[in-house]
A = this chain, B = another copy of it.
Amino acid sequence: MPLHRIYHPLSAFSTSDKQKISERITALYTDVGLPAFYVVVLFTPVESESFFVSGKPTDKFVRVVVQHLARQIPSEEGKKQFSEKYENVLAPFVKEKGYDWEVHVEEVPPDMWRENGLIPPIKFPEIEKEWARQNKPIPY
């Protein structure tokens, strides 16, 4: 569901950093009851000669594009809170290492979203809980 595409300089993250970032991102969603397997994090290393900020090549910038499907956050306040939590997730690996960074989160309507070909049980909380418990999509 949430898809996190993280574009980063070649040397920005160690294997261990990527592991920790993805665990922390995943926890943002499992903490509110969503299945862990919904959370996909893709790290894309980008060479400085292909990564431009202000029209200049950079090896000091991290750009994160997040897409939400399972939930649309209804209130402005809720959106703000999510962004704050997300910033806390990234901070030790980005801000505290001297990178500049930018994040945005998109909310995509879930009508044409499938997990292993199944319609995710957005409208069926009990089934969603079972998917979360077993951490996999189960026909229903």
A15 to B56, CA, bound (A): 11
| Residue A93 is within 8 A (CB to CB) of chain B in the complex | no
Residues from chain B with a CB closer than 8 A to the CB of A133 are none
A3 to B52, CA, bound (A): 10
Q: A82-B112, A117-B95 are in contact. Are A26 and B55 (CB under 8 A)?
A: yes
| Contact across chains for B83 and A102 when beta carbons are under 8 A apart | no
Q: Select one of B3, B22, B54 contacting A39, CB under 8 A.
A: B54
- Chain A residues close to B by CB (< 8 Å): 1, 3, 7, 15, 18-19, 22-23, 25-27, 36-37, 39-46, 49-57, 61, 63, 65-67, 69, 73, 76, 79-80, 82-83, 86-87, 91, 95, 100-117, 135-136
